[in-house]
Amino acid sequence: MNNVKIKVEDFNFHYGKTHVLKKVSMDIVANKVTGIIGPSGCGKSTFLRSINRMNDTILGAKAEGRIILDGRNIYDDDIDVVEVRRKAGMVFQKSNPFPKSIFDNIAYGLRINGVKDKYYIHERVEKSLRDAAIWDEVKGRLNKNAFELSGGQQQRLCIARALAVEPEIVLMDEPASALDPTATLKVEELIQELKKKYTIIIVTHNMQQAARISDFTAFFMMGELVEYDVTSIMFTKPVKKITEDYITGRFG
Amino acid sequence: MGHSRFKEKMIHGLFFLNGLVAVIVLVGIFALLVTKSISAFREISLSQFLFSANWNPTATFVAPSYGIWSMIVSTFMVSLGALCIALPLGIGTAAYLSDVASARVREIVKPIVEILAGIPSVVIGFLGIVLVGPVIAKVFHTTNGLNALNGSILLAVMALPTIISLSEDALKSVPKSFEEASLALGATKWQTLVRVKIPAALSGIIAASMLGMGRAIGETMTVLMATGCALEMPKSFLDSVLTMTSTIAIELGEVPYNTTHYYALFAIGLVLFIITFVINMISDIILHRYEKVIK
C-alpha cells in the first residue's frame, strides 16, 4: 500500500496479566478512513488508544513492539508523549466537552500550547467549528456553556476541539454510538469531509457504519488482527470464515 | 401481621424523634440566644453594639460601653488569615493526593490528615504558646508571639483536614472524561490539573473552604490561648487580639447574672451564631449546585 501514515509492527499490549493485543501488524494509509470492527473486548479500543498513547494513564499497562508514525516509533524512550497526542487527536465514545464556554472548549488546545495571539485563536476557533460542520449552529452563542448543546452537537464540538490543534490523525472511538440516527448521519458525513485533510481511524460497533464510511476495514478478535483489507473486499469476499461469520452477524 | 406493623410504626416514630431532636436543639439554642439578647438590646442600641469599638462593660466611674466592633474585626482577621494559609496548602495537598500520589501514599496520608481533625483544640493552643509563639517572636522581633498571626496559623492547621478532605473529594468526582479529553489534546498532567480539574471542582473547593472558615470563626480555645487577648482595634497581624469567642469564654464565668453585661455576652453569641449559620448555608448552596452540575 502506498502512502503509509502509521506502521504498526508486532505490537503487543498487556494490562497487568491480561494480554490484550497480540502481535498486531498493519499499515494505515494517509487520508483514508480505516474502520476497526470486532466483538466487545476484542481490543479494538485499546488498539486505538495505543496510537496516541492514552493507555499510558492506566496502571499496569505495558506495550511491546512498534507503532511508527511519520518514521518515528512512538514507543521509543526519547519520544515526547505530548507531541504524539498533538499529532493524533482523539474523539471519545461519549462526548466530553469541558464545563466551559463553547469558545473556550475549542481554544483550550491552543492555549495549552502557549498560543496567546487572540486574533489567531479566534480564527482557529471559527475554522475548527466550520470544519466540524457546527459553526452555523453555534456562531451566535460562543460564550454559552458547551453543556447547553445537544448530544450530537456536543460530539461535533469535541471533533472541532480535536481539530483545533491541527492534528494529522484523528482517532475516533465509537463517536456515534451515543447519538440518534440524524446526529449519526451528520457525524458520518463529517468524517467523509475530514479525510481529505486527516488520516482517520474509527472504532465502530456498527457494521453498516463501517461499510458506509471506511475505506479500509480491520477485523479484530480476542486481541488479534484477523483480517485487514479494502472495505469493499472485506464486506463481500472476506478471506477468513470467521470474518464472514462476524460481518454477516452470526455472532457479535 | 398486626404486631409487625405496629413494630414498623414504632421504629418509624423512633427515627423521626431522633431527627426531631437535632432540630429542637438548634431552634432551642437560637431561641435562648435571641431572648437573652433582646434583654441586652433594651439597654444598648444595635448599631452601637455592632459598630463601636469600645467594650468596657465593667466601667465604674463612666457609663459602661458595649461595642464589639474590634472583636468582630479581630475574629474575621484571624479567620481570614487562617484561610489564606490553609487554602493554598489545602488545595495543594488535595491535588497531590488525588492526582500525584500513588495509591499507597494516599492510603497512608489521607487517614493521617483526618486524624489531624481530631486533635483537641487545647493541644493546638498549647503548641501555639510553646512553639508557634516563640518562632513568631524571633522572626518578627516582637516581645511575644501571641497575636493574630499565631491564631491564624493554628486555625489554619485546624481547618486543613476539612479543606483537604472535601477538596480531594471534589477533585476525585471530576469526571475522568474531562481529564482524558485534556490529555488527548496534548496537555500535560499539570495543565490538566490547573486548567480543567481544579476549575471543574471549584465549587466543591469553595464549599470546603467555607466550612473550614465556619469552623475557624467559632473556634475558641485555640484563639483564646494563642492570640494574646488584648482588647483593642488590631492594626496588624502582629497585634494581640481578642476575638468574640474569647470574650465570651473569658467573661461569662465571672459576670453577675442577669445584668446587661451578661446579656451582652449572649448577644455576641447570637452574632457568632448568625455568622457561622450564614457561612454554612452558603457553602451548602454552593455544594448542592455543584452536585447538580456534575450530574
What is the predicted pLDDT for the residue at B3? 78
Report if residue A1 sits inside a domain: no
A52 with B293: Cβ contact below 8 A:
no
Residue A218 lies in a domain: yes
In the prediction, which pLDDT does B294 show?
A: 54
- What pLDDT is recorded for position A252? 63
Region for B228 from its dihedrals, namely left if φ exceeds 0, alpha if ψ lies in -120 to 50, beta otherwise: left
* A21, A13 contact by CB (below 8 A): yes
Is A58 among the domain residues?
A: no
Residue A8 lies in a domain: no
Q: Do B191 and A99 touch (CB under 8 A)?
A: no
pLDDT at B125: 94
Segment A40-94, tens digit of pLDDT: 889 999 999 999 999 887 878 889 999 999 889 999 988 999 999 999 999 999 9
Evaluate whether residue A61 is within a structural domain: no
A54 in B contact zone (CB under 8 Å): yes
pLDDT at residue number B17: 93
Query: Does A82 contact B184 at a Cβ distance shorter than 8 Å?
Result: no
What is the C-alpha separation between B157 and B148, in angstroms, rounded? 14
Q: Is residue A22 part of a domain?
A: no
Nearest CA in chain A to B192: A112
| Grid cell at residue B30 | 437560637
* pLDDT at res. B213: 86
Contact at CB, B185 and A82, closer than 8 angstroms: no
Is pLDDT at A120 greater than 70 in this prediction? yes
pLDDT of A145 reads: 92
From the list A82, A97, A99, the residue facing B186 with the nearest CB is A82
Tell me how far CA of residue B47 lies from CA of A16, B44, B205, B265, in angstroms.
Answer: 69, 9, 35, 16
Give the pLDDT mean for A84-112: 94
The amino acid occupying position B163 is: I
A57–chain B nearest CA distance, Å? 9
Q: Output the pLDDT for position A41.
A: 86
pLDDT 10s per residue in chain B (295 long)? 567 889 999 999 999 999 999 999 999 999 999 999 999 999 899 999 999 999 999 888 888 899 999 999 999 999 999 999 999 999 999 999 998 888 899 999 999 998 988 899 999 999 999 999 999 999 999 888 999 999 999 999 999 999 999 999 999 999 999 999 999 999 998 999 999 999 999 888 888 888 888 888 989 999 999 999 989 899 999 999 999 999 999 999 999 998 999 999 999 999 999 999 998 898 888 877 766 655 5
Residue at A207 is within a domain: yes
pLDDT of residue A199: 95
What's residue A2's pLDDT? Answer: 63
CATH number at residue A82: 3.40.50.300
A124 CB-near residues (< 8 Å, 6+ apart): A106, A107, A110, A115, A164
ipTM: 0.89
Q: Do B226 and B125 form a contact (C-beta atoms < 8 A)?
A: yes
What is the reported pLDDT for B293?
A: 59
What's the number of domains chain A is made of? 1
Widest CA span of chain A, in angstroms?
56
Whether A215 and A34 have beta carbons less than 8 Å apart is answered as: yes
- Return d(Cα A73, Cα A9) in angstroms, integer: 10
Q: Alpha-carbon torsion A65, A213, B184, B295, what sign? A: negative
- CA dist., res. B79 & res. B87, Å (int): 12
* Owning domain of residue A164: 28-50+78-247
Interchain pair B196, A98: CB under 8 A: yes
Residue A56 lies in a domain: no
Mutation for testing the B interface, residue in A59, A108, A113, A115 having most B CBs under 10 Å: A108
